[in-house]
Amino acid sequence: MTNRQAEIAAALGVVPPFADEAAVLAEIQRRKSFIKNCLRNAGLKVLVLGISGGVDSLTAGRLAQLSVEELRAETGDADYRFIAVRLPYHVQHDEDDAQASLQFIRADVEDTVNIAASVRGLGEQVSHLQQLSEARRDFVVGNIKARLRMVAQFAIANANNGLVIGTDHAAEAVMGFFTKFGDGACDLAPLSGLVKGQVRAIAQQLGAPENLVFKVPTADLEELRPGKPDEESHGVSYAQIDAFLHGQDVGAEAYAIIVRTYDNSQHKRELPLAP
């Protein structure tokens, strides 16, 4: 492990590799306790999370549902509940995976907010978008989608006096692979510090379908490239990112890409600048 790897892993609170199944089970319990404590400390009883069909929201969603079930059993208070929200843009190309995720999570409440009209309406009002190239506009609109999805989640949470869950984890955080004030905005992030392989290990332990656990990750924000794999955007694989964060040798090229991307995206992981 280089000094830079150690520095970055420490900054992101990276969890060491799981030694065995007992370690995975212990981590699941720790994450559920964290979620339950967040609700208790806030004096609230509702959790909200957007479900995309990927392993991150699937895992965070199931942990949330288990947590509120435990709170109901421990307190006798039936008001504890989890709201799982679908947030498609028109018709999502992998909607079947999203529905399968919902079936696995078994949330107390399921809701759907289609963001297409909101994205279109905002886009029509922002004249600056019209002067962009098609590719650049597609990228900017992708960030609008992410931010409007979070607006919807916070609206639902506000309406129910609840908290919004985020799905960021160490393998995305190191690459700055989230939209600032979009999917990077939340009240609690129960997957923080985990690498991608650890998220998958937890999902497996929870009993998630294998096709969802090992589905090719995609942010799916670009209309010109629907379902574009995350790893294509990264320039490195999640296996390499995980290895880097766990202090292993990933080769000079992957090492340089990860460090450069981490440095360039530092602003995403910090509070707004102030004098």
Residue 172 a catalytic site member: yes
Sheet with 46-50, edge to edge strand ranges: 109-112, 81-86, 46-50, 162-164
Of 159, 162, 152, the C-alpha closest to 87 is 152
Q: Both tokens of residue 106?
A: 């078994």
Residue among 94, 97, 108, 172 flagged as catalytic: 172
Residue 232 a catalytic site member: no
Residue among 27, 56, 187, 220 flagged as catalytic: 56
- Contacts of residue 273, defined as CB under 8 A and 6 or more positions apart, other chains included, come to none
Of 223, 220, 52, the C-alpha closest to 123 is 223
Specify burial of residue 268 (Cβ count, 10 A radius: 0-12, 13-18, 19+): middle
Catalytic positions are 56, 172
